[in-house]
Amino acid sequence: MAKTNKHSIEPKKTRSRVAEIYKDLYTGEEHPIPDTFFERLALDFTKWARDNENAVVINQFAVDKGIPWKTFCRWCKNRKEIKEVYEDVKNIIAIRRETKMLFGAIKEKSNMYMMHRYHQDWNEADHRWSEINAKAQEKALGGNINVVIQAAENTDVKPMRKNADVIADQEDKDEE
């Protein structure tokens, strides 16, 4: 009998239509998944985000449930039950992350690099700051910079030559 992880989802034994086959991340076992599974998963997802104070990264939900991240992302795009709650869960987590950052529970710098993925306001602010920094950098540099590299004559370093140039030089020496 294979060991099951306490975090893995055990699909209910029902007589509903099999929507797809799910491969457990921890056990590697494949389970048929009925359509009702996604409704229950959506409820679990929302409850996890709402009740778990340590829920600050969406990937953790998938890991806790034993769902490979790519599979979970596919379900979020294709299954309306998950798709409907995904944005709400992102918002719950964004508020929690921002609050923890303000009160020092999460380091500000590391959190700021990811906040744009969780909340639209942070995404817009990130774009505005990028534009401001680009304009400031362009103004500080005074526009385009042209770099000219001149040939160095008194040096032992020589550029590589093509075979045709070497053959032509050898023929010139032979003629002399």
Q: CA 145 to CA 93: how far, in whole Å?
A: 44
Q: What is the pLDDT of residue 40?
A: 93
Tell me: pLDDT of 12 over 50: yes
| Three-state DSSP class for residue 110 | helix
CB within 8 Å of 9: residues ≥ 6 apart: 22, 24, 37, 41, 44, 65, 66, 67
H-assigned helices in 4-147: 35-51, 58-65, 69-78, 80-102, 108-112, 120-141
Mean pLDDT of 2-24: 65
* pTM score: 0.56
Asked whether the beta carbons of 94 and 122 are under 8 A apart, the reply is yes
Structure confidence at residue 24 as a pLDDT band (50, 70, 90)? confident
Q: CA 91 to CA 49: how far, in whole Å?
A: 10
How much is the mean pLDDT over the chain?
76
Nearest CA to 34 out of 50, 51, 49, 16 is that of: 16
Please write the tens of the pLDDT for every residue from 85-114.
998 998 888 888 878 877 776 666 555 656
Phi and psi at residue 125, to the nearest 5°: -65, -40
DSSP 32-63: EEEHHHHHHHHHHHHHHHHH-TT---HHHHHH
